[in-house]
């Protein structure tokens, strides 16, 4: 290699007695980059086993291969043609073996492993931990749909647990302001990746629940934007799952992209695909609420109108009853019926008494002819007693009917128009003697009569010009 001396050690140390060797000439950046590239090519084809990190496919498939135990990462690139021929595809969290050669891009100063073959070895450590935790929590009922609570229609306030200054927080604030800005937001800043992030998130969830009344919140949103499997790992830890499970507030979780699934999302009362969707689910849209209120108001007004119409029809039906239209006529009919009943009772009683007397006389004649004078006297006494008792019975019956008639007359008198007039009211009649209830039914020049408690007043209708 032309520039190989850059990496070769000197053949022997320089003696103090020898004259100092001249410094080697400085290489240009292009020369140094070429030397690195030649050295990388010299490594040749390699097979590397590790865990797949983030994956992005554009004009090529870019992914990382890492060793979580040693915190070592290699950037990899796989051309789409090679990706199509490969027996396996790079999958985040999977432990895989990749084959290829290292290359150095001088223009960007990047060293990558150019992969032409990928094979699956086994699930990565993070994926294995995720699956094991899901199995355990599902057995404990953490994922049961029956325990998950509905969100309030209009929240009193919303607490957002996320990173300060993050894009996820900006999305939440924007959506809330667009939909219903009157709902207050309480932002709780936490670390969302790295060491200690899981404990930080769990403490924030517990703190919001403990101070919900003071904060004025009744919904909790835990969110962060997209990232690699390692970046999202805090939300796959047991400590966060436990905090979400014991939360008394309804909890909405939106972690990473739509394709990412985390443990906290499975425990939460509602999983949202993005921070934006989380706020859409929590905050109602102002115009939708106004539309619902208008619909409820229309239904209430219709019910009130219907109730008024039914009761008005009932009142009009009562007004047509004869006892209210002409109370005196109602009083006259019972009087006539009572008079007829008394007349019939008089005729019946007269005939009955005459019949009894005729029988008494017949019996008396028979007794005179067949019995001694004492028996006749006894018979006369019995007949006289019977006649007296009959007279008392008839008088009592007539008195009872008369008392009932007087009571009915008193009740009708209480509702008679004269009583109304005595309280200071008046009754206006048209020229045919009918009560006037609506002034619009009177023609100009019509004659009307107004009855007062004492006397009447006759008038003529005059309408203004």
Q: Is a pLDDT exceeding 50 seen at residue 128?
A: yes
Neighbours of 167 (CB within 10 A): 13
Q: Which whole-number Å values give the CA distances from 57 to 50, 77, 80, 96, 381, in the listed order?
A: 19, 10, 9, 18, 134
Q: Is a pLDDT exceeding 60 seen at residue 135?
A: yes
Angle at CA of residue 70, ends 68 and 75, nearest 5°: 70
Q: Which whole-number Å values give the CA distances from 198 to 129, 184, 204, 232, 234, in the listed order?
A: 15, 26, 10, 10, 4
Contacts (Cβ under 8 Å, ≥6 apart) of 265: 235, 253, 254, 255, 271
Q: Which whole-number Å values give the CA distances from 380 to 134, 323, 375, 384, 386, in the listed order?
A: 117, 53, 9, 6, 10
DSSP for 387-406? Answer: HHHHHHHHHHHHHHHHHHHH
Question: Does residue 215 or residue 14 have the better pLDDT?
Answer: 215
Q: How many helices (H) and strands (E) does the chain have?
A: 14, 13
Tokens 């219903």 identify what position? 180
Strands 427-429 and 447-451: antiparallel
Neighbours of 281 (CB within 10 A): 16
Neighbours of 131 (CB within 10 A): 12
Q: Which CATH superfamily is domain 128-287 in?
A: Succinyl-CoA synthetase domains (3.40.50.261)
| Cβ atoms of residues 95 and 121 within 8 Å | yes
Domain 29-123 and domain 128-287 have a common topology:
no
Which candidate, 245, 246, 188, places its Cα nearest to that of 222? 188
Q: Is a pLDDT exceeding 60 seen at residue 10?
A: no
DSSP letter at 117 equals: E
Dump pLDDT digits (tens) for 43-96. 999 999 999 888 998 889 999 999 877 778 999 999 999 988 887 888 888 888
Residue 3: pLDDT band by 50, 70, 90 thresholds? very low
Contacts (Cβ under 8 Å, ≥6 apart) of 282: 151, 155, 158, 219, 221, 252
DSSP letter at 106 equals: T
Q: Does domain 29-123 have CATH number 3.30.310.160?
A: no
**CA–CA dist 168, 184 (Å, integer):** 17
Question: What residue spans of 115-256 are helical by DSSP H?
Answer: 125-139, 167-179, 197-210, 212-215, 238-245
Structure tokens at 386: 């019977």
Which candidate, 336, 327, 335, places its Cα nearest to that of 418? 327
Question: Does residue 231 or residue 162 have the better pLDDT?
Answer: 162
**CA–CA dist 447, 429 (Å, integer):** 9
Angle at CA of residue 394, ends 389 and 395, nearest 5°: 100
| Cβ atoms of residues 394 and 353 within 8 Å | no
Q: Hey, where are the domains in the chain?
A: 29-123, 128-287, 323-415, 421-460
Dump pLDDT digits (tens) for 268-298. 999 999 999 999 999 998 777 777 777 888 8
What's the predicted TM-score (pTM) here? 0.48
DSSP letter at 423 equals: T
**CA–CA dist 222, 201 (Å, integer):** 8
Dump pLDDT digits (tens) for 406-447. 787 777 766 666 667 777 778 888 888 788 888 778 888 888
């Amino acid at each position: 290699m032309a520039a190989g001396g850059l990496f070769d050690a000197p053949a022997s140390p320089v003696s103090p007695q020898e004259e100092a060797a001249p410094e080697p000439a400085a290489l240009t950046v292009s020369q140094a980059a070429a030397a690195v590239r030649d050295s990388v090519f010299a490594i040749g084809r390699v097979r590397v086993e590790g865990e797949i990190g983030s994956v992005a496919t554009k004009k090529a498939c870019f992914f990382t291969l890492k060793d979580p135990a040693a915190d070592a990462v290699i950037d990899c690139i796989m051309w789409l043609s090679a990706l199509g021929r490969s027996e396996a595809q790079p999958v985040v969290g999977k432990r895989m073996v990749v084959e290829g050669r290292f290359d150095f891009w001088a223009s960007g100063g990047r060293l990558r492993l150019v992969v032409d073959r990928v094979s699956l070895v086994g699930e990565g450590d993070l994926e294995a931990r995720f699956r094991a935790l899901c199995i355990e929590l599902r057995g404990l009922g953490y994922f049961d749909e029956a325990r998950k609570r509905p969100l309030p229609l209009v929240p009193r306030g919303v607490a957002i647990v996320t990173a300060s200054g993050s894009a996820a927080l900006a999305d939440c604030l924007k959506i809330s302001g667009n939909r219903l800005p009157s709902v207050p937001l309480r932002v709780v800043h936490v670390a969302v990746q790295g060491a200690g992030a899981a404990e930080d998130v769990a403490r924030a969830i517990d703190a919001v629940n403990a101070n919900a009344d003071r904060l004025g919140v009744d919904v909790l949103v835990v969110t962060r934007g997209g990232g690699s499997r390692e970046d999202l790992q805090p939300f796959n830890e047991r400590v966060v799952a436990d905090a979400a499970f014991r939360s008394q507030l309804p909890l909405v979780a939106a972690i990473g992209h739509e394709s990412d699934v985390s443990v906290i999302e499975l425990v939460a009362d509602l999983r949202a695909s993005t921070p934006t969707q989380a706020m859409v689910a929590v905050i109602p849209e102002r115009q939708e609420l106004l539309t619902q209120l208008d619909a409820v108001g229309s239904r209430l007004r219709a019910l009130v109108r219907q109730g008024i119409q039914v009761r008005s029809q009932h009142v009009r039906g009562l007004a047509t009853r004869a006892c209210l239209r002409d109370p005196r006529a109602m009083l006259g009919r019972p009087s006539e019926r009572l008079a007829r009943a008394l007349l019939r009772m008089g005729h019946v009683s007269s005939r009955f008494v005459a019949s009894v007397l005729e029988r008494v006389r017949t019996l008396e004649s028979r007794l005179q002819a067949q019995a001694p004078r004492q028996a006749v006297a006894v018979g006369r006494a019995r007949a006289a007693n019977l006649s007296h008792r009959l007279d008392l019975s008839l008088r009592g019956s007539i008195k009872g009917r008369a008392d009932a008639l007087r009571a009915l007359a008193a009740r009708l008198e209480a509702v008679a128009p004269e009583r109304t007039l005595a309280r200071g009211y008046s009754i206006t009649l048209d020229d045919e003697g009918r009560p006037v209830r609506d002034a619009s039914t009177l023609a100009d020049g019509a004659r009307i009569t107004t009855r007062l408690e004492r006397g009447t007043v006759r008038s003529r209708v005059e309408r203004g010009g």
